[in-house]
Structure 1
Amino acid sequence: MLQLLEVCKSRASGRRHDRDMLRTTESVESADGTRVVFHLQGDGPPLVVLHGALTTTDMYNGLTDMLASRYRVVVVERRDYGPSGSGPRPAGFSRQAADLGAVLGVLGEPAFVFGHSIGGLVALHAMHETSSAVRRLALYEPPVALAGPVLASALAEIQELVKRDRPEEAIVEFFTAISDSARPPTTLEPIARILAHRAAGLVADLECLTAMEPDLSRWSTLDTQTLLLAGDNTDSYGSKSIDLLHATLPNADLMVLAGQGHHPDDPAAVAAALSEFFG
């Protein structure tokens, strides 16, 4: 979590003015009518980026700046976080998968897809319907180990806190539920303050995650070439999730990035791995 705090601070700042001059923003209507916003930067074959839970698309600026020299990078604002719309509740991965399908449908050619954390689960759920539109798939620690009832009690508490307009406490509750160590709440409060405006999206993501079937066998026949990325300084659910997927996906390679956690603080390492794999 401390890594995520540093990522929040460093990537939300920087060359925003220069980037905004080079980046365009578009939107598409998903199958259920929800507006899905996405940003485009660079030129070349399309590469779609799906952000993780609580994170903002600005936190991927360093990564997308590096990739934009070779690819037309398409960063999706996932539903329920804004500026994209909010769909029916409870949320489900099938609707988020349809969002990705809608974005892929307007790109004009098959794309590379990179999903970080829960963004990786969105990409996986989309593959049954959109695999023909995906050239290669890269996933950074999609948390399959947390699927099903694992976080059900935490979700109930988080929903109640958000309902009572206590988003910072809701985020502390989430980090406490997934953390390997018993950190006192005071150490989590700085990041909770930064990300409080993303609490509604967190609730939606947890609704998707708790409704997800833990059985991964549905992806055992996925033949899309896939790169599984993990950090060697990650949380236990991240490494366990990657091990589960590596044992399930028939056409997947595994790469472990030195010194990186669930929220990698070195975008150059991720960019290099993606560029090598996507080509």
Structure 2
Amino acid sequence: MDTIAANGTTIAFKRSGKGPPLLLLHGAEADHSMFDAFGKELAPHFTVIAYDQRDSGGTRNPPAPYGLDVLADDAAALIAALGHRRAHVFGTSLGGAIAQVLAVRHADRVDCLVLASSFRVGTQVSAINPAGFPKFAELRSRLPDSLPEFAEYFFTREYLSSHPEALNIFKGNTRTAEQRRRRGVILAQPIAIDLGTITAPTLVLAGSEDRLIPPDHTLSLAREIAGARAAKIAGVGHVGTIQNPAAVAAEVVAFLQNQ
């Protein structure tokens, strides 16, 4: 991991491959390492930049609270600090929400945009999955005892059965209580954006078996963004970049290389 100063933070990042820059934005529970296998699939085609958001991994930031706007400003500042005028941007789950804000606030920094397993910024999370989110929150509050059931919101049951090591992903969270608190209130910070103002060519991806963010909600983002494409990846849950990195990468590479 390397580090660089950007937007008042010290951002930890991993860079690999060669070609046009492609910035990867991880989910709420994760850090850059969720893209280890995915990045290897992309590296033959792009300069892959996977970084840790505030209060994640090796990034160090001030103790003040922040929302999606600040996280989007961080991403824009990182692109510039690494010497790029623009970059392709891939965001998954919360990372996809940050990417939406980035594409609106910093359109000059975004070449093409990919939103995976994400949700519409400004929508109450509880309204997206009213049956699933209360149970998800209850399971999270009982970690690590609830880990096997909690993990099924991210991976299919079949995948976990054949890859029990996937549970270790949730055991490696090293955030302090204060870091978890700040991460936990990101979506409580008010923000409104108009997806219709996004000018970057956009691809929206959903896993067909996503139990956390319903695929139909994710795919509906494409209807608000002019010219956006949408695709559903069969057999994968919320974290497709881990469950089937080759399939997700194939969609991303095909889209970006045809723009």
TM-score range, shorter chain: 0.7 to 0.9
* Pair 1:29-2:5 in alignment: yes
* Pair 1:278-2:256 in alignment: yes
Provide the residue aligned with 1:136 in structure 2: 112
Q: Name structure 1 gaps, 5 residues minimum.
A: 1-24, 180-189
Q: How has the CA–CA distance of structure 1 residues 195 and 91 changed in structure 2, closer, same or farther, with 3 Å as cutoff? A: farther
Aligned residue identity for 1:234: D
Aligned residue identity for 1:45: P
Aligned residue identity for 1:205: R
Provide the residue aligned with 1:254 in structure 2: 230
2:96 and 2:207 map into 1 onto residues whose CA distance is 15
After TM superposition, give the deviation of residue 209 of structure 1 in Å. 1.6
Aligned residue identity for 1:79: R
1:244 and 1:199 map into 2 onto residues whose CA distance is 35
Q: Secondary structure at the match of 1:40?
A: strand
Q: How many residues align?
A: 235
- From 84, 87, 90, the equivalent of 1:111 is 87
Provide the residue aligned with 1:126 in structure 2: 102
After TM superposition, give the deviation of residue 199 of structure 1 in Å. 6.7
After TM superposition, give the deviation of residue 230 of structure 1 in Å. 0.4
Query: Kindly, what percent of the aligned residue pairs are identical?
Result: 26
* Pair 1:52-2:27 in alignment: yes
* Pair 1:208-2:186 in alignment: yes
1:124 and 1:145 map into 2 onto residues whose CA distance is 7
Instruction: Write out per-residue CA displacement over residues 123-179 of structure 1, whole angstroms, 9 at most, x where no aligned residue.
Output: 11112332112110001021338844739x97xx99xx7xxxx9747x86x959x79
What TM-score, normalized to structure 2?
A: 0.77
After TM superposition, give the deviation of residue 35 of structure 1 in Å. 1.2
2:114 and 2:2 map into 1 onto residues whose CA distance is 24
Alignment of 1:52-91 (within 5 A): 52-91=27-66
Q: How has the CA–CA distance of structure 1 residues 212 and 88 changed in structure 2, closer, same or farther, with 3 Å as cutoff? A: same
Q: Name structure 2 gaps, 5 residues minimum.
A: 128-132, 155-166
Alignment of 1:118-197 (within 5 A): 118-144=94-120, 147-148=123-124, 150=126, 168=144, 175=150, 194-197=171-174
2:198 and 2:170 map into 1 onto residues whose CA distance is 40
What TM-score, normalized to structure 1?
A: 0.72
After TM superposition, give the deviation of residue 221 of structure 1 in Å. 2.0
Q: Is the 8 A contact 2:13 2:32 kept in 1?
A: no
